[in-house]
Amino acid sequence: MRKEVAKLAGVSEATVSRVLNGVGPVREETKRRVLEAAEQLKYVPSQLAQRFARKRSGNLGVIIPSLPKVHLFSTYYFSEILSGIGEAAKEEGYDLLLMFRRPDEPRDYDLLFRTHKVDACIMLGLQDLPEERQALAKLAAESHPFCLINQRFDGEPFRSVDADHVAGSRLAVGHLIDNGCRRIALVNGPLTYSNSIDREQGYRQALEEAGLSYTSTLVYMGNFGRKSGYELASVLAGEIRRGAVDGIFAANDRMAIGLLQGLREHELIAGRDYGLIGYDDSDGSRLTQPQLSSVAVPFFEMGRRAARILLASGSKGETGGELPLQLVVRESSGLQQQHPII
Query: So where are the chain's domains?
Result: 2-53, 59-163+300-323, 165-298
Q: pLDDT per residue over 238-260, tens digit each?
A: 999 999 999 999 999 999 999 99
Residue type, 158: F
Contact 237, 268 (CB under 8 A): yes
Of 107-121, 202-216, 270-284, minimum mean pLDDT range: 107-121
CB neighbour burial string for 164-186, b if at least 16 within 10 angstroms, e if fewer? bbbbbbbbbbbbbbebebeebbb
Query: How far is the C-alpha of 51 from the C-alpha of 105, rounded, in Å?
Result: 29
- Report residue 58's pLDDT band, with 50, 70 and 90 as the boundaries: confident
Q: How far is CA 80 from CA 72, 293, 323, in A?
A: 11, 19, 15
Mean pLDDT (whole number) for 48-52: 45
Give the global pTM.
Answer: 0.80
Handedness of CA 79, 81, 82, 87 (dihedral sign): positive
Give domain 2-53's CATH superfamily.
lambda repressor-like DNA-binding domains (1.10.260.40)
Q: What is the CATH number of domain 165-298?
A: 3.40.50.2300
Same fold, 2-53 and 165-298: no
User: In this model, does residue 341 exceed pLDDT 80?
Assistant: no
Residue 280 region, left (φ>0) first, then alpha (ψ -120 to 50), else beta?
A: left
Predicted confidence at residue 315, as pLDDT, reads 47
Residue 122 three-state SS: strand
Of 9-18, 125-134, 157-166, 272-281, minimum mean pLDDT range: 9-18
Predicted confidence at residue 172, as pLDDT, reads 97
Predicted confidence at residue 339, as pLDDT, reads 37
Query: How far is the C-alpha of 292 from the C-alpha of 276, rounded, in Å?
Result: 7
Query: How far is the C-alpha of 248 from the C-alpha of 269, rounded, in Å?
Result: 12
Of 22-26, 47-51, 182-186, minimum mean pLDDT range: 47-51
User: In this model, does residue 147 exceed pLDDT 90?
Assistant: yes
- Report residue 44's pLDDT band, with 50, 70 and 90 as the boundaries: low
Q: What is the CATH number of domain 59-163+300-323?
A: 3.40.50.2300
More confident residue, 14 or 162: 162
- Report residue 52's pLDDT band, with 50, 70 and 90 as the boundaries: very low
**Main-chain dihedrals φ then ψ at residue 181, nearest 5 degrees:** -75, 140
